[in-house]
A and B are shown apart, each in its own frame.
Chain A
Amino acid sequence: MTALQRSPGPGARPREFRGEITAKLPVMGDSWLITFTAPQEILQSARPGQFVNVLARERAVYDPLLRRPFSVYDVSPDDGLMTILVRPYGRGGGSIVERNIGGEIDILGLLGNAFEVNPRSQRLLMVAGGVGAAPLFMLSRAAVMQGLSVTYLLGAMTADALLDASQFPQEVEYVVATEDGSAGYHGFVTDLVPDYLQWADQVFSCGPGPMFQSLRSVVLANRMGKRPGVQVSVERTMACGVGACLGCMVETKRGMKTSCVDGPVFDMDVVQW
């Protein structure tokens, strides 16, 4: 079972491995869930919020040069499989979604920290935008398996860019918002957040920068003190993924932190917005 709290021992060491793509599922309009084989120790130690860096080229060519980070969407140690959610945008995502089943995928991982669920928390609120859906999906599944209550808010431009409700375990309360009103609430996903702030023991979020800005103002305007706490998974352009190059820094009240090792998950109140 996927752990929700930090285990006392070290996790699996990050390493390079090549997986075989075993499944591709179209989701969210133009994106894909890509499932591939992965070593058992990696799968067993994977925690929600962690990510892998994917080589979006063959080793003998040079573009795009750097690996692309993808949050883990799901792991299945029993089947030996890991799934990531890939948008076909830019020079990286575009080439990854073109890979076929049976083809290879070149991975560096696991990388990064993870969402931390307080052992006393019972009710978890997820606030997701776009491919930010991925790490919160894994967190939601793990949380309901351990008997926690989860409300999952997902925002998108249009109905077809949402995750299909059938992806989620029944125990997850899945609520959607679309900017064009074609499904669920008509407006931004963060408009829904005030209704849940009393209910939630903790809030977890992943999505584009503007979504974090509006989440932060909504939370600051509606919560009492520092409860509930909010953890955000941020995205930065990244080179090494292991804390060596210092290219992916996040400015925090505790100094400059790497998003690849110190993050990608940070306490919203610690980040310098």
Chain B
Amino acid sequence: MVTIEKQRYMADLAVDLAPANARELVLRNPVIPASGCFGYGLEYSPVIDVQRLGAFVSKGITPEPRSGNPMPRITETPAGMLNAIGLQNPGIDKFIQKYPPTWENWDVPAIVNISAEAVEDYAMMARKLDDVPGIAAIEVNISCPNIHAGGFCFGWDARMSAEVTRAVRQATTLPIIVKLSPGAVDVMEIASAVEAAGADAVSLINTLVGMAIDIRTQRSKLANLTGGLSGPAVKPVAVRMVYQVASVVKIPVIGIGGISGLQDALEFFMAGASAIQLGTAVFSTPSVLTDLIDDLGIWLDSNGFDSLRDIVGIANPAMRGASMES
């Protein structure tokens, strides 16, 4: 059945997230649910019109199946939440059998998020995904411990981040988005390194490592002790990092961190994001995703902008300078 939906705005929301890649990653709009917050897309299909989204990112996939962390895995914090799910997933092989065949028939591009603890495992997964129908791009989660470097997080080190990116780049021609960790001392250095190593785009921020203690039991509220902080509480940190990264890279930046609606989304675009991901907000109000597409278009119309591109980096002097040069 063909449904003809009347578009409620005129502005052009389309965005190209891999301009240098022949396989392209052109989205109809910039609104993307974030990895870990949208399952495999199927979970939300009864709740919202998933096909309207710009794209979606799958749960993090690892080389082998993982049963995840013990419970409790989540706890609410002021204007946020901590999670320590522990990358529960069926592993790359079962994943490929199970989900992409469904996605192949979907309009919405599917981005697969991958995590590993060794460079060669990232490359192995990228190689397996390279020609799987139904997959539009790979998002590389580098906020993982490197077992060959004493468990030091890949994403906190420019050389290790670049090494992962280069290995994935050599393993696939699919568009690659590298998801940056906010734990890095200098996120700009990491972003520049992964850009040089062949990333088509970067996304940021991943969650911030946090902790909450139950004063009754005198123990951490999470079985894993620490967890990733997300939600509105992290937004200012995320906007700052997006602004910094967008100032130094030429590849598209995808903004993530506490976006709950139009105002938040506009801040990220103005800081320099070409697209955005929403995570925690989807849990409480799944409709925020589809509402945001309309709200963005209507806002651009009523503020005299023809295209989303017109506001990307408008608050970022480094980007304004760059566009004047070109």
Contact = CB atoms under 8 A, between A and B. Distances in A.
A14 B46 contact: yes
Contacts of A236: 71-72
B43 A240 contact: yes
Given A62-B231, A62-B232, A239-B81, A245 B67 contact: no
A108 interface: yes
A65 B37 contact: no
A16 interface: yes
A236 B38 CA distance: 19
A256 B70 CA distance: 10
Contact of B286 (A63, A91, A108, A238): A108
Contact of A244 (B39, B72, B73): B39
Nearest to B45: A13
A97 interface: no
Interface of A: 13-16, 55, 59, 62-67, 91, 108, 236-249, 251, 255-256, 261
Contact of B283 (A14, A240, A251): A240
A242 B59 CA distance: 14
B76 interface: yes
Contacts of A242: 39, 43-44, 46-47, 286
A209 to B, nearest CB: 12
B73 A55 contact: no
25 contacts: A13-B47, A15-B47, A16-B285, A62-B80, A62-B231, A62-B232, A63-B79, A64-B76, A65-B76, A65-B81, A65-B232, A237-B72, A237-B75, A238-B74, A242-B44, A244-B37, A244-B38, A244-B282, A245-B39, A245-B85, A246-B73, A247-B85, A251-B71, A256-B67, A261-B43
Contacts of B231: 62, 65
Contact of B79 (A62, A108, A255): A62
Contacts of B81: 65-66, 239
Contacts of A14: 46-47
Contacts of B284: 55, 65-67
Nearest to B279: A245
Contact of A255 (B67, B72, B232): B67
Overall SS of chain A's interface: loop
Contacts of B287: 16
Given A244-B37, A245-B85, A63 B283 contact: no
A12 to B, nearest CB: 9
Contacts of A246: 59, 68, 73, 85, 88
Contacts of A13: 46-47
B145 interface: no
Given A242-B286, A247-B73, 10 more contacts: A15-B47, A16-B285, A55-B285, A63-B78, A65-B81, A239-B283, A242-B44, A244-B43, A245-B37, A249-B68
A145 B232 CA distance: 47
A185 B132 CA distance: 64
A229 B326 CA distance: 72
Contacts of B74: 237-239, 245, 247-248
Overall SS of chain B's interface: loop
B100 interface: no
Closest 10 CB pairs of A and B: A244-B39, A13-B46, A247-B74, A62-B79, A244-B43, A239-B283, A62-B232, A240-B283, A243-B43, A242-B43
A15 B260 CA distance: 18
Nearest to B33: A244
Given A62-B232, A65-B76, A240-B37, A245 B283 contact: yes
A244 B75 CA distance: 16
B183 interface: no
Contacts of B73: 246-247, 249
Contacts of B260: 62
A214 to B, nearest CB: 21
B62 interface: no
A237 B212 CA distance: 15
Contacts of B46: 13-15, 242
A269 to B, nearest CB: 20
A249 B37 CA distance: 15
A64 B78 CA distance: 7
B83 interface: yes
B181 interface: no
B280 interface: yes
Nearest to B235: A62
Interface in B70-119: 71-76, 78-81, 83, 85, 88
A58 B46 CA distance: 24
Contacts of B282: 240, 244
A67 B37 CA distance: 15
Contacts of A255: 67
Contacts of A16: 47, 285-287
Most buried by B among A108, A245, A255, A256: A245
